[in-house]
Amino acid sequence: MNEQKTWSLGTQDTVTAALARSAAQYRDRIFLDFSGELHSYADVDRESTRLAHGLIELGVKKGETVASILDNNIEAVLSWFAINKAGGISVPVNTAYKGEFLRHQLNDCGAKIVIAEADYAQRVADIESGLSSATVLLQRSGPLVPASILQTAELASVFTDSSEPLVDTNSPTDLSMLIYTAGTTGPSKGCMISHNYVCNLGRQVVQMEDRHSEDCNWTALPLFHMNATGGTILSCMFVGARVAIFPRFSVSRFWPDIRRSGATVASLLGSMITFLAEAEDSEASTACFGQLHTVRGSPFPAPLQKKWKERFGVETAGSNSYGLTEAARVVTGMRSDESAPPGSSGRANEDFDVRIFDDNDNELPPNTPGEIVIRPRRPHIMFEGYWNRPGDTLKIMRNMWLHSGDIGKFDENGYFYFVDRMKDYLRRRGENISSFEVETGLRAHPDIADVAVHAVFSESGEDDVKATIVLKDGAGITEEDICVWAIDRLPYFTIPRYFEFRSDLPRNPVGRVLKYELRAEGCTQATWDREKSGMQVPKR
């Protein structure tokens, strides 16, 4: 009997208990594959226990946060499991964060200990005087960065000799992690993710994608996103499958690593799907025909699904499941042996009550777009609120419904269709972008008087980002000058593609910027295009 048939989605669980069960059942089976660096289930359980003992010796207590800024490597997974084994809350930070973005998140989560790669450790040291809670910086590799306030040490030195199992004090309601979601009208907020929530996400994937122990799920998605942690790592862990984790997505290196790893499932996002479908054939892509039986990603329109099936021999291409960090996979998509109308994400699943409301929270009839609102049918399967922000939690939970801020509709047969996302909320190449935070960063430029960051149409199916800027009187700079300045100060994925100078921004009578007008205008003759100019943004 397959492992996924032995439990129901209603089961309450914890990350630590699930790891212990899998380590006992699949002990010597390969769990994680980092470009050929292999780790068994027993290895991961043992090494995360050794690190957990060390974190406890450093003073980590139940319910405390520990932040990590790590690339896709074994230490990123071990840190998550070890923090949870110590009773702590893992806070994986976006590796592109620096400056004010990084300071806000580290201070907001209140982590005393920060685990980081060498390059990212330097970013932490650069802002150490502005950190309110952090006292210890554990560096994964390289010479220790100089710090005057923070106590620095090698992460390897924290692993103890003891692999004696710790008493598991976690309950399904305890927090496993904080995942920060980009704010649209304020700073980013930490979604409180319980053990049961992230475990339930993993089980949803197993059930809907018919995952088996013989599968190998390839992903290059970052380990600070729940797609990779809950949707890939935990789903495979539940059935004893293997996970091949690649450092960073690359079109040219995708098929060679699929071939090397023996992957049968690939998890992609957005433009990755298009780039691979349009790339030229290679020896590796030809050799891998039919190897991948499933490719999951969103958005995955019907024409691209057809192309993947015909060109690469994929049996199941799609997903288009709908969810958000606050409530993942509320519309799970169709099972591998089912079909849905073109453009649909399938029907709502048994976990959530999903409806479409108007501006006054009245339910709308079928085929009428409105705001997507959500309520759980089971305990602890969506976020527990925003970390230290009860007011924001109450705001999104208006009338006891989680208001997504996204637009969708159901047809008369109960099939769900995503229509659009919240207008000031941007998504580009798999990354959520806070227009508020980008605007805050750009306003720090001495020659910028005002700025509006907004989406413009992109043929790739995702948002392209534009900054419409009002300069101060007498400023003698160019759009390129501001772009170069921003590259040194903002996360790479937030750098706008388009810049345009204007004498003023369109506003309503009370002075609020009318971004919908800017979105509708899109690019004009006065718009400067970073990509057409040939400027490259380093991914660091």
pLDDT tens digits, 301-357: 778 888 999 999 999 887 667 888 999 888 866 555 566 777 788 888 889 999 999
- Range 424-453 average pLDDT: 79
pLDDT of 430 reads 67
What letter does residue 246 receive in the DSSP assignment?
Answer: -
- Residue intervals of the chain classified under CATH 3.40.50.12780 are 17-195
Task: Evaluate if residue 185 carries a pLDDT over 60.
Answer: no
In the predicted structure, residue 113 carries a pLDDT above the cut 70: yes
> Which pLDDT belongs to residue 4?
43
CATH class of 17-195: alpha beta
pLDDT for the residue 354: 96
Confidence of residue 369 (pLDDT cuts 50, 70, 90): confident
Which of these ranges, 66-75, 93-102, 321-330, 413-422, has the smallest mean pLDDT? 413-422
Mean pLDDT of 17-21: 97
What are the tens digits of pLDDT across the range 167-179? 999 999 999 999 9
In the chain, which segments carry CATH 3.30.300.30?
428-533
- Cβ neighbours for 481, distance < 8 A, ≥ 6 positions apart: none
The answer to whether residue 28 scores a pLDDT higher than 60 is: yes
pLDDT at position 208 is 82
Q: Distance of alpha carbon 522 from its chain centroid, rounded? A: 27
With pLDDT > 70 as the criterion, what percentage of the chain qualifies? 91
Res 410: pLDDT:
95
Q: Map residue 342 onto helix, strand or coil.
A: coil
Q: What is the chain's length?
A: 540
Q: What is the DSSP letter of 163?
A: -
Using one digit for the tens of pLDDT, what is the confidence trace for 375-402?
A: 999 999 999 999 999 999 999 999 999 9
pLDDT of residue 457: 78
Rounded-to-integer distance, Cα 387 and Cα 325, Å:
13
Q: What beta strand segments (E) does 182-315 contain? A: 189-194, 216-219, 242-245, 265-267, 294-297
CATH-assigned architecture of domain 428-533: 2-Layer Sandwich (3.30)
Give the Å distances, CA to CA, from 175 to 79, 301, 313, 357, 402: 15, 35, 41, 30, 19
Write down the pLDDT at residue 146. Answer: 94
Can you list the alpha helix ranges (DSSP code H) found in 26-169?
Answer: 41-57, 74-85, 99-109, 118-126
Handedness of CA 103, 108, 110, 114 (dihedral sign): negative
**pLDDT value at residue 1:** 37
Whole-number pLDDT of residue 433: 75
pLDDT at 252 over 80: yes
pTM of this prediction?
0.82
Torsion-angle region of 531 (φ positive above 0: left; ψ -120 to 50: alpha; else: beta): alpha
Angle between helices 15-25 and 41-57 (to 10 degrees): 140
* pLDDT mean across residues, the chain: 90
**Distance (Å, rounded) from C-alpha 515 to C-alpha 450?**
13
Separation of alpha carbons 291 and 382, rounded Å: 34
